[in-house]
Structure formats: structure tokens, C-alpha cells
Amino acid sequence: MDFLDEIVLTGLTVFGRHGVYAHEREEGQEFVIDLRLQLSLEQAATSDDVADTVHYGELAERVAAVVSGEPVNLIETLAARIADAALDDRRVQGVSVTVHKPHAPIPLTFADVAVTVHRTRAPEALEDITA
């Protein structure tokens, strides 16, 4: 069984205007994003060159642009858009994205609401990478 390496980015906090209710869109709130990328880091480990890996600073900026960008109703949609952005890098074979909405409009005491999506590159796309 082949195991993939991982790059993990947790706790990225970005202001956005997502939600079903008008006040969520008007006032906005902070969202917290966790990502786990699955990919091979063998080439980067050998070359010691940032060009051979996913630059996590640039990844954080791309994710922040999605979160601060066009509003959506559901954090499920937001998580899927973030996953798509991570998969734009052809080296990424899979990604897990968790979007936390700690200030969700729930009239009870709670610590967090979160949605996690898991996405993988289509098998035919993986063949293109290795060819």
C-alpha cells in the first residue's frame, strides 16, 4: 500500500460574509479553516527546493481569497470551493477541508460548528500527472 505524505494547515482565520441570513452577509464573521493535503513530498525532500512542493504560504493566500470572496449560503459550499482551489495544484492528490463557523447564529451556547469535505483527484487526472 502506498502512503501519501501530507501538508497540514490549521487554524487559518479569515473574515467572510457567508450564511443564509441577511445579517450574516451584512455583518460578516470570522471563519477558521483547516486543510490536509495528500501528495508526494519525495521530490521536495530530495531537492530541498520550495518549487518542488506546495508553498503553504501561497496556499493560505489562495484559501483566504476564497473565504473573503464571493459569499455563499452554506459552509458546505465554501469548503468545496476551498478543496477545488487546493486541487488546482496538480501535485495534490487529495484534500480534506474543515470550515469552522464558531459564531454561527445558534441561540444556544456552543463551542463550534464545522463541516469537513474530502476530495480526491479523479483517477484519470492522476494518470496524466505520472505520464
Residue 35, strand partner residues: 9, 97
- Residue in 33, 101, 117, 121 annotated catalytic: 101
Number of other CB atoms surrounding residue 3 within 10 Å: 7
Cell 470551493 found at: 81
- pTM for this model (two decimals): 0.90
Model pLDDT, residue 129: 52
Cell 521536495 found at: 44
101 is catalytic: yes
Distance CA 2, CA 112 (A): 35
Structure confidence at residue 76 as a pLDDT band (50, 70, 90): very high
Over the chain, what is the mean pLDDT? 93
Q: Where are the beta strands (DSSP E) in the chain?
A: 5-16, 29-39, 94-100, 114-120
Average pLDDT over residues 75-103: 97
Q: What is the pLDDT of residues 13-23, one digit of tens each?
A: 999 999 999 99
Going by C-alpha positions, the residue among 64, 63, 65, 74 that lies closest to residue 24 is: 74
Model pLDDT, residue 1: 44
Q: What is the pLDDT of residues 27-51, one digit of tens each?
A: 999 999 999 999 999 999 999 999 9
User: 105 or 124, which is more confident?
Assistant: 105
Model pLDDT, residue 105: 94
